[in-house]
Amino acid sequence: MVNRQNTMGGRAAEALKEPTLSDRAYEAILGMIMEGEIPVGGKLPTEHKLCERLKLSRPVLRQALKQLREDDVIVSRQGSGSYVRRRPEMAVLDFAPVGSIADIQRTFEFRSAVEGEAAFLAATRRSESDLNKMKSILDELDRVIAAGDLGVDADEDFHAAICMASDNQYFSAARASMKANIITGLNLTRNLSLTKPQERMQLVQAEHYEIYNAIKLQEPDAARLAMRTHIDNARKRVFDGTS
């Protein structure tokens, strides 16, 4: 039986930044797509009509559209307009705080850059103690998957342990400064994975093991690539909809 939960505590939720106007526009357009108002392959209303409907300036709207293109939700065709490329599942809105989805996606970009370099250094500097800690966390994540539990805390611990293994406190400090946002993203992605067959969570865990093995074998380039691929895949999985 799937055991879903929400690990967003009050203080963590309060720590998330106030959504910008472009974030709100991003989520409003995303909502139109999720609800089927604009189908996959369908054309978005003109910028003029969207600005009128959302009561936004054109620069704010264009920033939202830019983010939707980067997240592969829409595609722009020169001289024709913007079209829906994929429709994320409504479940995204069940697990993400209102106004947070654009911010979550940007957090993944931050993590890919910072944690990729942390994994690179961890592969050259890790100790046996570091490896033992990572493996212990992976064992806990294996247990979580078998039980159908969420595992946000263990997932967070694994990534934090890699930053510690880099032997550079600034990676841990940078990541700690974004912890509320990171936990929100983990809560979203792992809850979404629990709505899928168990193979989805096992795929995520296989990515964790690929990172761990590269660090264990002291292969820094492979560790960086594995970490960045894992986080980029997590970002894409947020919008892994039905189309």
Residue 145 is predicted with a pLDDT of 95
Any idea what the CATH number is for the domain that residue 67 is in? 1.10.10.10
Counting Cα atoms < 13 Å in the Cβ hemisphere of 17 gives 15
Same domain, 176 and 112: yes
Same domain, 124 and 233: yes
Q: Assess if residue 174 is contained within a domain.
A: yes
Same domain, 84 and 107: no
Same domain, 83 and 112: no
Of the pLDDT bands very low, low, confident and very high (cuts 50, 70, 90), residue 90 is: confident
37: enclosing H helix or E strand = none
Locate the DSSP E strands across 22-141. Answer: 74-77, 81-84
Residue 46 CA, distance from chain mean position: 29
pTM of the model: 0.80
Q: What is the mean pLDDT of the chain?
A: 89
Residue 120 is predicted with a pLDDT of 98
Q: Is 33 helix (H, G, I), strand (E, B) or coil?
A: helix
Of the pLDDT bands very low, low, confident and very high (cuts 50, 70, 90), residue 17 is: low
Same domain, 44 and 143: no
**CA 128 to each of CA 112, 204, 217, 218: distance values in angstroms, whole numbers, following the listed order:** 25, 24, 12, 12
pLDDT tens-digit series, residues 174-221: 999 999 999 999 999 999 999 899 999 999 999 999 999 999 999 999
Same domain, 176 and 117: yes
Same domain, 77 and 105: no
Quick one: 4 exposed, middle or buried, by C-beta within 10 A (0-12, 13-18, 19+)? Answer: middle
Q: What are the tokens at 195?
A: 């709505």
Same domain, 220 and 120: yes
Same domain, 148 and 34: no
Any idea what the CATH number is for the domain that residue 190 is in? 1.20.120.530
Same domain, 114 and 215: yes
Same domain, 52 and 131: no
Same domain, 43 and 152: no
Q: Is 25 helix (H, G, I), strand (E, B) or coil?
A: helix
Number of domain units in the chain: 2
Tell me which residue range forms the domain holding 27: 17-89
Helix axes 128-147, 152-165, angle to 10 degrees: 170
